[in-house]
């Protein structure tokens, strides 16, 4: 674990043994894999200090030295803050993991006209905490999907987590209530996904689509109602991936009318139950479990902490 402390607009990291001999340039480029443009701005705008002085980006660092990064300055807000209760599963100076309720969008489609998204609510939360910075969404959930979703609280964290998402270093585990009893009880769906030319928002399995891989395991079966609760995790993050893949193998989500599900529940029965990552600024292993919020209950007799 790294030794860190916030100091107003600055964030201090005590250089660990693993960083000794590396330059600041290598920390940004190789350790964090930050974008070149962002790295350049930190360098040109003197947003990094070494032991309180302007840092030389090309001199090897010594263990125990103190690096300070200017991360928390105020920004012009791009999203209109709007109050809504939010269920925060984890928060520190860099990131937030939030339990998204169903029936709201993750982000506004029109930043000026739409103020009812989760991003608007989090922008209000940040502002009310005295943090005048833009919240940065790392991934998204469909309007009807509930559960854990990750946001960054400053530009460097946003860039690092974007890269981690692409490299599959953020693990997301979902629960789905589907029609039918699956055989086999676990497996991998490897089927490319593309747009459905006959529907503006629908996706479908298509040989010309993007690679898409979904792992699944059956957790519970309701043989009387011929339904199953399935745990899924992804190697890729395509739009509607779980919905498309489970429908493709003949087991659409309950409530997911778009992909063949029956309206036996009041929404598509998909919940982002768990989110895991290694924190880039502390090296802590972060695990967040998102409690169910549906009434009536959709995922019955499931202990979310055992997923």
Residues labelled catalytic = 142
* CA-closest candidate to residue 71, choices 42, 108, 33: 42
- DSSP per residue, 29-67: IIIS---HHHHHHHHHTT-EEETTEEPPTTSPP-TT-EE
- Token pair 């860190």 is at which residue? 4
* CA-closest candidate to residue 243, choices 251, 235, 225, 69: 251
How far apart (Å, rounded) are the C-alpha atoms in residues 227 and 179?
5
Q: HSE (CB half, 13 Å, CA atoms) of 3?
A: 11
Reduce the DSSP state of residue 202 to 3 states and report it. Answer: coil
Region of residue 219 (left: phi > 0; alpha: psi -120 to 50; beta: else): alpha
How far apart (Å, rounded) are the C-alpha atoms in residues 5 and 92?
11
Reduce the DSSP state of residue 276 to 3 states and report it. Answer: strand
CA angle 112, 113, 114 (to 5 degrees): 100
Alpha helices in the chain (DSSP H): 24-26, 36-44, 118-128, 155-166, 241-248
Do 199 and 259 meet the contact criterion of CB atoms below 8 Å apart? Answer: no
Number of neighbouring beta carbons within 10 Å of residue 198: 7
How far apart (Å, rounded) are the C-alpha atoms in residues 231 and 272?
10
């Amino acid at each position: 674990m790294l030794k860190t402390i916030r100091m107003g607009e600055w964030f201090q990291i005590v250089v660990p043994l693993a960083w000794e001999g590396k330059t600041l340039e290598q920390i940004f480029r190789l350790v964090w894999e930050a974008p070149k443009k962002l790295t350049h701005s930190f360098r040109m705008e003197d947003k990094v200090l070494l032991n309180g002085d302007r840092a030389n980006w090309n001199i090897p660092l010594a263990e125990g030295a103190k690096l300070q990064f200017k991360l928390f300055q105020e920004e012009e807000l791009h999203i209109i803050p709007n109050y809504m209760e939010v269920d925060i599963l984890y928060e520190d100076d860099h990131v937030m993991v939030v339990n998204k309720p169903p029936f709201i969008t993750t982000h506004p489609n029109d930043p000026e006209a739409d103020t009812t998204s989760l991003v608007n609510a989090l922008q209000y939360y940040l502002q009310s905490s005295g943090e005048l910075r833009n919240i940065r969404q790392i991934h998204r959930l469909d309007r009807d999907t509930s559960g854990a979703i990750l946001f960054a609280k400053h530009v460097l964290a946003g860039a690092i987590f974007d890269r981690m998402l692409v490299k599959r270093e953020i693990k997301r585990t979902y629960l789905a209530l589907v029609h039918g009893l699956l055989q086999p009880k676990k497996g991998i769906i490897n089927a490319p996904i593309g747009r459905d030319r006959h529907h503006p928002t629908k996706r479908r399995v298509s040989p010309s689509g993007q690679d898409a891989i979904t792992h699944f395991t059956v957790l519970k079966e309701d043989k009387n109602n011929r339904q199953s609760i399935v745990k899924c995790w992804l190697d890729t993050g395509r739009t509607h991936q779980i919905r498309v893949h489970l429908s493709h193998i003949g087991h659409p989500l309950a409530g997911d009318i778009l992909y063949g599900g029956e309206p036996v529940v009041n929404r598509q029965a998909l919940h982002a139950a768990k989110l895991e990552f290694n924190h880039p600024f502390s090296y802590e292993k972060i695990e967040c479990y998102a409690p169910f919020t549906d009434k009536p209950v959709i995922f019955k007799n499931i202990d979310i902490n055992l997923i």
